Structures are given as C-alpha cells and as structure tokens.
Structure 1
C-alpha cells in the first residue's frame, strides 16, 4: 500500500512488506512554493532551498513480487530497498539525483516524466545527454515548478527496461487547498513472465498493431490488493498507468468519486464515470469512502468483463457527512497560450511506408549511422519514422519553434489504433476533439488519440531545447512513432 505518510513495498527476494519511504535526504529549511509564470523565471536556489539527495543504482535484483504467484523473476530496479521507489517533495524543492548503471550490456538514463525542467535534465539518450554505460554515473539536478503526480523511468531500450521494472514515482506536494483524510498511490502495470519466472518477449509483431500485452496485471506489484481506509472519508487516489502497452478505462464502484487532476495538473473537479488512460497517463481522484464494512473498488472497464484493480475496505465511524464536494486543487503556474496569435501546426500519426524513415545525415554534429531498412519500422509522424535502434540515430527535428511563442498542435490519428502521445518539457492545454464533444479542457503531458481522431492542444514554447514527441505505447515509440521538436 502506498499512502501519504508511508509507502509499503517489497524488497529483496522475499514477498514480505517493508516500509518504503521517499528515498534520499533533505537539507536546509523549507522554501516557498514557486509561483512564477514560466520555467525561466524560477528563482535561483538560495540558502533556504530544500535539496533532496537521491542515489539510484540500476541493477538486476531478482524478486518474488506478490503478483508473481511464488515465482522469482530477474527484474531490474533503481533501488536495492524496494522495486518501486517513491520520491515525495514540496514544490520549490530541489532534486539532486545520482544515477549509477550496474546493468551489464545496457545503457540507462532517467526521464522525469511530465516535468517542465531544463532540457539537459530530461534524460533522453543522444538527444539531451550521452547515455550512461555500464559502470558509469550521471547526476541530475532540477526543481520541479509544478505540483502533482509524476513518475520517472528509463528512456534507453525502453520496452525491455521499463518492462523489467526500471521506474519510480514522483509526488510534488503543494497543490491541496484543503487536506484529505487519507491518500493512496496506485501504480498500474502489466508484467510479462512465464511459469518459470522468465520474461516473455517485450517486442513482438504486435508492435504493428496495438502492442504486446503482459500476462499479469498488477497494482503496486500485487493483484487487486485490498486497502483499509477510514469510513465516510475523503480519500485522494493518485492513479498512474505506467504500463508499456495497456490502455485502461478507469472507474470507481461502490463510492462517489471526482477527477481533481489529470497528468498531475489541477482541473475543476468533475464526477468520475470513466476516464480512459493510455500508458504514461495519470489521474488524481477524490473518493468518498463507503460506510463501515463496505468495500469500494477501482475497476478497468476496457475489457470484455470489468477487471478489479484495487479494493478499499472502509472501517469505523464516518469522518464526514453530506455529499462529496472536493475543493479544487491549486493550479500550477503553467504559461497561458495566446490562442489569437498562436501558430497552428499539424502532426499526423500514421502507419509507415517505405519512404517514411527519417533522412540520413548529421544533426548538429551528432553522429548518425547508416539507417536500417524500414521493414522493422511500422509507424510515422508527419510521414517520418524515427530510425530503427531506439535513440541511437538522431534525425532532424519535426519542427523548430520560437521561444516564448504560442502554438496550437493539431494531433491527427489516421490509424485504426489508439496512441497516447507524450510531449517532453512542456504541458499542453487540451482544447478540443473532433470525436469527443464532452472532453473537458484540461492540461496534460500525454494525450490519448482515438482512431481517426483529431485533438487540438495549445502551449507556450517557453522551454528551450530539443524535446521528445512520441507515442507512449513503447513498441510504437521504438518502431518509428517518435520525433522531437526544437525550441530556440
């Protein structure tokens, strides 16, 4: 169970629960939360800035997670203490993370998913930094300007490394206008292992369709766990889909619930009926727990039969009376795009053709090897496919943007499959869809495109650098549906 004050995880080969705290240490007195309107205006660190030091060592650590049914699998983790590290800081604090790579034959990086941080800290190999080889280290240092629910994960050999578990959760506090009675972090993902605990293939021919699904569904590395909660209480649920492939339709049964944040960004609370979550997407939910002795549950409806993901067993006297009316969260200082002057750019997500592979040649002095043939490339953005080999070969940018200017991207899906499209370093304002008339205007870093859907998103290009722009179904990313946008 991952709660506000402590986090329960599993470490080592045993399946017993241990206390998992936010890793690292902090120094100095608290600093005020950032209120600046743009990333560039975040004030410099001072003697009062809280600095949290973290050390993460990417390594193979065989583990018999509860969801493995007694099998031990050679998972890869960032921490020896727990397979699911959690960082919890306050907005305005600094993260100083030291990464060491102890995975033989692998390069690693850490991408801080959803954070508007300097480009050099974004963790994209060969684009924002050199990949970290076996035996080497790299240091990240940044201050998240936004509060919310985020996560961090590898961006090298992502299908396998993420599939083996190389990720963690990042909570940035400072958005609550009224405290909740309880909180639970719910990390949803599949595992792919056989009856002997060996990993199944992470990339298959299904990469040309919806992607390869795991055979074990888990929540916090358990199968449909039950959590004890106070009765009649307002509970904050931080729900993260960190799977490589699976798209979910999340809903709550047996309790009233409101969506209060999308991808960590505050929204005007609205009742949760269902919310479709592609890989990398998150929602924060305010749930009024049921009466004593009753059980509510988190359910995935995107299946032939609803799949229970977690249960919440209520105990004790009701904490609150009256209808659930969650207070809105405090919005983060995301720049407001000027829609009247914004430049409109279309991005079409399609299946690849023989001519889709990005052109050869050097990009700003970065080495580009001979490109592989397109037979293993299935997807494209604006008729260009990222060359085979994950991030090894860097093509030219899909677009070059002017710093400080407002843009509207029209995301156009011309395939029969869904694609969760993620943009690094910025937060989109999702404006409208041609298919979902009741899609609320909201901020997000990942937008799920339905088949043949057009979605308009707007943002201010205030963060300079080369920023990844890709589908977060990882097999789609690694077989062509990836590019980057340059902000100068």
Structure 2
C-alpha cells in the first residue's frame, strides 16, 4: 500500500511532478495541475457523526448522520489557481477516504484505496494536495463504504470561483441538493443497500428531500433578474430530469464546465436535462415580474416532484430580453480528436466475479494488492467488458481495464447492454461527450460523469493524464457490486 509519507503535501507541492517508490513499488508519475508558486491555503477538515432532524423540527432526530466539519451540506468556496493543503482527520467509527470529485488532482490525492492510498482508520489523519486549476461546481465525498457514508450525508460542495467568470454577472445564486434518505418511521437509518436493489436500479430512499429538507425550499430572488441555479444529485441512486415551468431558462454548465454555446432548456430533448448521481448542472433562469414564481422540478417522477420554488421580489430591476449567458471556456486539457485511440467497453450484468484483462506482471506489487472489505459489496452483479471489481471474499485488486499513455487522446465508446441506467464517472479527467446513439438532439459538452441509458452507446474523448484512475458507475451499489475498473496511465 502507498504510505502516508508518499502522500505528504510538501513533496507534491514542491514541484509539478512527483514519482516515488512506496510500499507498493514504483508508481506512475503523479502530475500536479498547478505550478509550485501557486498560492497555498491550508485547511483542516474532519468527518464525524452527529444527530440531525431530517424529518422536520418536530420529529425525532436521526442519529449517526455523517458530515464534514459537523455541518451538513457544507459549501466550500475558493479561487481558481489556489492550492489546498487539506489536513484531514477521520472522527468516524469506520475507515474512510476523501475523493475530490471532478477536481483534476494529482492521482496520489484521488482518495481511492488501494490504488492511491490506504484507508484512513478511525482517529487517523491524512494530508491531501488539492490544486484547483479549473473554475466550476464540484464536490467531495468518501470513496470507501461510499453507499453507507454518503447515504448518511457525508459529502460537501466545492465551488471554485474565477475573476473572469465573475464578469458574467448574475443577480442571485441558488443551490439545489437532491438527496434522499433511507429512514424508518422512527427517523433512524434502515439498510442502505439491498441485494435486489444492487442488482437492478439501486435501492431508493424512503424519504425525498431537497437541501436536506422534506419541504421543498422557497427562495426569494430579484424579479426580472438572472438566477444561477446550481443543482447536484448527491443521492446514491436517483436519476432526475431537471426542468422548470418557465420558458426563459438555459443550461450554462455541466459538471462545472461551461456549455458553449449555452443551450436553451426548452430546445433540449424533452425540455429537460437528465442527471444521475454525482452529476451537476448550472441553469440560468430569468425571473418574471414581482410576486410571480418559477418552479424547478424533477420531471422523471410519476408526478413532477418539486425541488425548489424561486419567488420573484422587487429589487428595482427592469424587464429586458432574455439572453443566455456564456461562461468562460474550460481551462481543462482538451482531447485532440484528429487521431484518437479508440477503446470499446460494455456495461454488463455479471453472475459472479470475472476477470479477462491481462494480469499485471508478478513483480508489480499492485498485482498482490487487496481491496478493503469495507469498501466493496458482498456480491458481484455487474462488470465492464467482463471485468468486475472486487467484491465479497474476492478482494484481490483486478488488473487495469487498459494501460494508456500520458498525453494521448482516447475515444471511448461505452455501450450499456443492461436494463438499467448507468452514470459513468472517470476520475481525474474532464472529457468531451461527443455523441449518443439515442439522444440525437444532444449538443456536445464537457463532463466528468455521463449517463449511459439501456441499449445506448455514448462516445466521449479525453486526454489521458498519468496515474491510476478508476472508471465506474456512480449508482453506488452498482460500483460496490462490480461496475468499476481502472486505467493505468504512464
């Protein structure tokens, strides 16, 4: 396993590249995404349990809720170009890690045991080097016992601001956090995962909520103003169709990356944006006159589910023509689509553990690495092209799905041959979604997570960065029961 010493921030921040031997042998180069002169901000971060009244102020408190710094749904904001030195302490009763979802960190700070670090035991500490090279809307969460810990609330939002983006002015900002709870009538947790759910669409919450509340929020914003509505599906299972009852709305960013040109929501297929677990979307909503309302819905439910109501109040603004606002272009590396290397992967059902990729050489210590049993499910239900992740008693780390070259562009065709949707997330990269065999009217866009529907092929491309990077379904039970693999990039 990689030692904590190998992860110490000081050595990572001292230069843009670090490749060191560790307890698992020579690892790929861990490439920093900011120069060593980047401004440094050191923060302390903890994860711990607390009691929260999730069902309402007059209902029993839910015990063993998990939160960072003791604050549910905490929002962190920093400037683009800042390097975070994160001193993390695990105050939970179980091991954990921290994964910086969507942030292009050096892979040794990616938070995936055993590829990048050991699990952090109760009472343990860990130092993460988290450069912030790109503006946008991100979040962070554990990557061990993710179904259980995220299911009980362990995640936080991370907004990276940029002076250039601030020039694109909005009159208000509103966050929508979609997160259900698996609670019994007494307000206490019930099993986060079921075998039936893990083998199908996932185990859904028993209580729907927005921003932690069972009562959809009402937010006052300026009449005739432009509101930036930033939505995240933080749930482990739920897929939503994000939309409004108002014509003047546009999709301006996906997973923190600008949509260029912005897409008027009504011009997208079915007038909605489909989002699965871990996906983020920024909408620009032009408000109507004073006293009027705009409702933001999940239209995927049997009956549209109200997420948030925006209430227009008079702040002296005058009515003007609606024009979607273009955010600055992404600063992430873009794929070179002239001559990409093509890779094909199938998302499949699996009746048990299966591996067909070539094994790592016997002298590669990762060939002997074991995945912590807390980090995986009990059974295998899924695979990527007949390679399944560790589960149950089969805890040996599987070999990589493929070995890639740093700086090379890869075009992945991902085909879902199962009956269920899979939001697929690639760590450490921003990719360009090129096409879908089903969504013919969908524009190309940048993302870190993309939904692949049943019997659909989605093509996306990225420029590979050195490291060991996992690729998995973000319906967490699917990930826990086989639907994860990894790429080695050297």
TM bucket (normalised to shorter chain) is: 0.7 to 0.9
For 2:431, which of 415, 419, 428 is the aligned residue? 428
Q: Deviations over 1:438-472 (max 9, x none)?
A: 111000100000111001001111x2110010000
Deviation at 1:291, TM superposition (A): 1.1
Deviation at 1:79, TM superposition (A): 3.4
The answer on whether the counterparts of 2:105 and 2:129 sit within 8 Å (CA) in structure 1 is no
For 2:177, which of 182, 187, 192 is the aligned residue? 187
The answer on whether the counterparts of 1:75 and 1:165 sit within 8 Å (CA) in structure 2 is no
Unaligned runs of 5+ in 2: 1-29, 266-270
Q: Distance in 2 between matches of 1:256 and 1:96?
A: 41
Deviation at 1:64, TM superposition (A): 1.1
For 1:271, which of 252, 264, 267 is the aligned residue? 264
Q: Distance in 1 between matches of 2:363 and 2:421?
A: 31
* Residues 110, 320 of structure 1: alpha-carbon distance in 2 compared, 3 angstrom cutoff: farther
Where in structure 2 are the equivalents of 1:434-473 lying within 5 Å?
Answer: 434-461=437-464, 463-473=465-475
Per the alignment, residue 142 of structure 2 pairs with: 154
Q: Distance in 2 between matches of 1:469 and 1:68?
A: 40
Per the alignment, residue 22 of structure 1 pairs with: none
* Matched residue SS, 1:417: coil
Deviation at 1:392, TM superposition (A): 5.4
Aligned-residue CA RMSD (Å): 2.4
1:228 has 2:220 as partner: yes
Q: Distance in 1 between matches of 2:393 and 2:74?
A: 25
The answer on whether the counterparts of 1:177 and 1:327 sit within 8 Å (CA) in structure 2 is no
For 1:88, which of 77, 100, 107 is the aligned residue? 77
Q: Distance in 2 between matches of 1:426 and 1:471?
A: 15
Per the alignment, residue 382 of structure 2 pairs with: 379
Q: Distance in 2 between matches of 1:131 and 1:112?
A: 15
Please, what TM-score do these two structures have when normalized by structure 1?
Answer: 0.86
Deviation at 1:318, TM superposition (A): 5.5
1:403 has 2:391 as partner: no
Q: Distance in 1 between matches of 2:438 and 2:243?
A: 21
* Matched residue SS, 2:209: strand
Q: Deviations over 1:7-61 (max 9, x none)?
A: xxxxxxxxxxxxxxxxxxxxxxxxxxxxxxxx95845233xx4433322222111
Please, what TM-score do these two structures have when normalized by structure 2?
Answer: 0.86
Q: Distance in 1 between matches of 2:145 and 2:319?
A: 50
Q: Distance in 2 between matches of 1:254 and 1:43?
A: 41
Q: Distance in 2 between matches of 1:457 and 1:314?
A: 39
* Residues 392, 328 of structure 1: alpha-carbon distance in 2 compared, 3 angstrom cutoff: farther
Unaligned runs of 5+ in 1: 1-38
Deviation at 1:370, TM superposition (A): 10
* Matched residue SS, 2:420: coil
Per mean C-alpha deviation after superposition, the further-off stretch among 70-79 and 268-277 is 70-79
Q: Distance in 2 between matches of 1:321 and 1:195?
A: 47
Q: Deviations over 1:78-128 (max 9, x none)?
A: 434421211101110111212111222x11111000111100111112111
